[in-house]
Amino acid sequence: MPRATRATRFAGLLASVLMLLGAVAACGSADSASDSPKSGSSGSAEASASTAFPVTIAHKYGSTTIKAEPERVVTVGLTDQDAVLALGTVPVGTTEWIGGYKGAVGPWAQDKLGSAAAPTVLKDTGTGPQVEKIAALKPDLILALYSGLTKAQYDALSKFAPVVAQPKEYNDYGIPWQQQTETVGKALGKPDEAKTLVDGVEAEFAAAKKANPAFATSTAVMATPYEGTFVYGSQDARSRLLSDLGLKLPADLDKVIGDQFGANISKERTDLLDQGVAVWIVPDTTTAVTKLHQDKLYADLKVVQQGREVFVKETGDYGNAVSLSTVLSIPFVLDRLVPQLAAAVDGDPATKVEQPAS
């Protein structure tokens, strides 16, 4: 299934969990940080950070006030850990999405983990956050920015720690990496450091666009062969990679997708894939590609006939980094994706789009 469908809309919490929340409610409040002692973070209580509090952050379910610099951070948002790590704090808990990485920390973020203990990994199997396990970690901040957190789950989690939910101005799982990073910076009392991180990655995008002017005159679409053809919408992190590089997404993309991160398209809308470049996230770059090309409707499109396809293997560090698309994983992605896109849009059907070495 496409990576983001694993982050299904969360169900209501079980009665036993709600009973637990009553027992732990004294640990904090829904709208303010706990005043109890904190431990377990690699970050230090810098004077510059202490002046940033209290801070109030608006989100889908209202606003949350954080009274003091958080040290025991749990990330319910499936990619939020990278921004936390980038800003010098090691979360005490992360939520697994991709899998395969200790602490849910990818290789692009390992140097930020350093010698600190890896975070405890929580799982969401479709029933929502593991509330009991989150409570046991005694967090003083819960981040759910890249998430589909429901109001019921927000209220439940807020019983024992301040929760910053996804922003209301985007679809669930639709927060841009820039806003994700800057919101985490605000929550951790490091807004200037967060802006510096964002500026650095945006400079890499700018350099790639300058080196590849053809991007500005090309269109692109991101898709995966899940239950037919699943196309990612403009607010999905993967599609944002393309638009941040200057490529234009199909004009009617969101009309077809609706207010979701992505959706399956009908055979009648196979034309949506006929762009300057079609980027496919596939289970493998051999048999999956062959199967795609066995579909005559798709195989007859110019994007196929002119060799303007890019294939990214879903598993492995490259595919994982594409799916996460965070302030730490994006530079890893650009080193691999930009050469592929450049080869695809160069106007020469004979140019082979090579797979990255790693």
Whether residue 260 is predicted with pLDDT greater than 90 in this model: the reply is no
State percent of the chain over pLDDT 90.
Answer: 79
Mean pLDDT value across residues 90-102: 94
Q: In the structure, what pLDDT confidence band is assigned to residue 47 with cuts at 50, 70 and 90?
A: low
Q: How far apart are the C-alpha atoms of 123 and 126, rounded to whole Å?
A: 9
Confidence (pLDDT) at 2:
62
Contact 105, 94 (CB under 8 A): yes
Show the tokens assigned to 235.
């607010």
> What's the pLDDT tens digit per position in 146-200?
999 999 999 999 999 999 999 999 999 999 999 999 999 999 999 999 999 999 9
Whether residue 214 is predicted with pLDDT greater than 60 in this model: the reply is yes
Whether residue 46 is predicted with pLDDT greater than 60 in this model: the reply is no
Whether residue 318 is predicted with pLDDT greater than 60 in this model: the reply is yes
Confidence (pLDDT) at 167:
98
Confidence (pLDDT) at 204:
98
Per the rule left: phi > 0, alpha: psi between -120 and 50, beta: everything else, 113 is alpha
Per the rule left: phi > 0, alpha: psi between -120 and 50, beta: everything else, 100 is left
Confidence (pLDDT) at 80:
98
Whether residue 26 is predicted with pLDDT greater than 80 in this model: the reply is no
Confidence (pLDDT) at 10:
36
Confidence (pLDDT) at 247:
98
Comparing 125-134, 228-237, 281-290, which segment has the lowest mean pLDDT? 125-134
Positive or negative: CA dihedral 212, 215, 218, 221: positive
Whether residue 32 is predicted with pLDDT greater than 80 in this model: the reply is no
Comparing 22-26, 118-122, 247-251, which segment has the lowest mean pLDDT? 22-26
**Looking at per-residue confidence, does 204 or 99 come out higher?**
204
Whether residue 48 is predicted with pLDDT greater than 70 in this model: the reply is no
Confidence (pLDDT) at 8:
40
Burial 130-141 (b: 16+ CB within 10 A, else e): bbeebbebbbbb
Q: In the structure, what pLDDT confidence band is assigned to residue 258 with cuts at 50, 70 and 90?
A: confident
State percent of the chain over pLDDT 70.
Answer: 86
Confidence (pLDDT) at 117:
95
**Looking at per-residue confidence, does 241 or 3 come out higher?**
241
What is the identity of the amino acid at 107? Answer: P
- Please state, rounded to an integer, the average pLDDT across all residues of the chain: 88
Q: How far apart are the C-alpha atoms of 102 and 108, rounded to whole Å?
A: 13
